């Protein structure tokens, strides 16, 4: 088992990468050996692969070329660091401050100040959307919306009142046992039986619900969890809905 080194430098790690690359060791194996000796914070798998590619492309040094600006004013160094940090972020919006610091041989605090104070970046979560629509899907939805608008302009509120829509939803339920349900007939001297506390029996069913502007029309097709509805089984809700609408509907549950 390899000995873990607690003190190391980024230049040392990059030299190890170049040495193992020269021995035709794969980037994934190089990363494994680096983590084994230097720890998992030394360098990410992506960074190891990037340095391996740079050596493959002809790079011969292990120094960061942008950090070899000795003798320049500190403001010039800061400008170079800021430009490099921004370049890395533009290339990978999910890169972490620690990964940038490792890539540029800068301290975590310096990179944090550059990112937040100079570049004015802040990390936010991606916004989840139901689904990504293609251009064809968007065009179809726009045509449907225009058709609805035309009908509304010609028929007014009467058209809105005639719209029936539907969806499926999970209905969660549980069946608690009341104290009265556990009561037993005993003689006066009989020993009382102990009852262990149990969790409620929880479950859920899938319901198909149809409604219009006045409220719910039909609740149907209560499928328990783990069951699937066949295409033939989907005819029943629409048949009941049609009958209900013809009869001047009242809310039904089937």
Q: Is residue 145 in some structural domain?
A: no
Domain span at 101: 77-118
> What's the pTM?
0.35
Using a pLDDT cut of 90, give the percent of the chain over it: 15
Q: Look at residue 175 in the predicted model and tell me its pLDDT.
A: 65
Residue 68 has pLDDT above 50, yes or no: no
Q: Is residue 192 in some structural domain?
A: no
Per the structure, how many domains does the chain have? 3
User: 63 with 85, same domain?
Assistant: no
Beta bridge partners of 220: 208
Q: Look at residue 71 in the predicted model and tell me its pLDDT.
A: 43
User: 166 with 215, same domain?
Assistant: yes
User: 44 with 83, same domain?
Assistant: no
Q: Is residue 127 in some structural domain?
A: no
Query: Tokens 């600006």 belong to which residue?
Result: 69
* CA dihedral sign of residues 231, 232, 233, 234: positive
DSSP string, 111-150: HHHIIIIIS-----PPPP-S-PPPHHHHHHHHHHHHHHHH
Between residues 100 and 123, which one has the greater pLDDT?
100
With cut-offs at 50, 70 and 90, classify the pLDDT of residue 254: very low
Q: Is residue 191 in some structural domain?
A: no
CA–CA distances in Å: residue 65 to residues 15, 80, 105, 134, 227: 14, 11, 11, 44, 62
Q: Look at residue 145 in the predicted model and tell me its pLDDT.
A: 93
Q: Look at residue 185 in the predicted model and tell me its pLDDT.
A: 64
Residue 228 has pLDDT above 80, yes or no: no
Alpha-carbon distance of 85 to 112, in angstroms, equals: 10
Q: Is residue 151 in some structural domain?
A: no
User: 209 with 248, same domain?
Assistant: yes
Name, in order, each residue with C-beta under 8 angstroms of 253's C-beta and a sequence gap of 6 or more: 218, 219, 220
Q: Look at residue 75 in the predicted model and tell me its pLDDT.
A: 59
Q: Look at residue 251 in the predicted model and tell me its pLDDT.
A: 46
Task: Report pLDDT digits (tens) over 140-150.
Answer: 999 999 999 99
Q: Look at residue 147 in the predicted model and tell me its pLDDT.
A: 93
Question: Mean pLDDT in the chain?
Answer: 78
With cut-offs at 50, 70 and 90, classify the pLDDT of residue 171: confident
Q: Look at residue 20 in the predicted model and tell me its pLDDT.
A: 93
Alpha-carbon distance of 48 to 27, in angstroms, equals: 6
Do 178 and 195 contact (CB within 8 A), yes or no?
Answer: no
Label residue 199 exposed, middle or buried (CB < 10 Å: 0-12, 13-18, 19+).
exposed
Task: Report pLDDT digits (tens) over 113-127.
Answer: 899 888 888 877 766
pLDDT winner (highest mean) among 17-21, 89-93, 206-210: 17-21
Q: Look at residue 242 in the predicted model and tell me its pLDDT.
A: 72
User: 59 with 83, same domain?
Assistant: no
């Amino acid at each position: 088992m390899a000995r873990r080194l607690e003190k190391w430098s980024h230049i040392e790690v990059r030299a190890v990468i170049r040495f193992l690359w020269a021995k035709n060791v794969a980037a994934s194996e190089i990363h494994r050996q680096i983590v084994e000796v230097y720890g998992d914070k030394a360098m990410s798998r992506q960074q190891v692969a990037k340095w391996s590619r740079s050596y493959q492309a002809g790079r011969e040094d292990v120094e960061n070329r942008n950090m070899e600006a000795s003798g320049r004013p500190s403001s010039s160094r800061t400008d170079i660091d800021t430009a490099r940090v921004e370049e890395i972020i533009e290339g990978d919006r999910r890169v972490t401050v620690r990964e940038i610091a490792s890539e540029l041989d800068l301290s975590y605090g310096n990179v944090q100040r550059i990112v937040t104070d100079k570049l004015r970046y802040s990390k936010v979560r991606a916004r989840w959307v139901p689904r990504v629509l293609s251009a064809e899907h968007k065009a179809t939805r726009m045509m449907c919306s225009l058709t609805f608008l035309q009908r509304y302009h010609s028929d007014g509120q009467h058209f809105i009142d005639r719209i029936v829509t539907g969806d499926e939803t999970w209905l969660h339920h549980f069946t608690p046992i009341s104290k009265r349900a556990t009561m037993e007939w005993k003689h006066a001297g009989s020993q009382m039986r102990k009852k262990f506390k149990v969790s409620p029996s929880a479950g859920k069913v899938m319901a198909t619900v149809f409604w219009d502007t006045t409220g719910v029309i039909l609740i149907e097709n209560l499928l328990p969890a783990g069951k699937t509805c066949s295409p033939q089984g989907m005819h029943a809700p629409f048949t009941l809905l049609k009958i209900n609408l013809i009869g001047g509907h009242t809310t039904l549950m089937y």
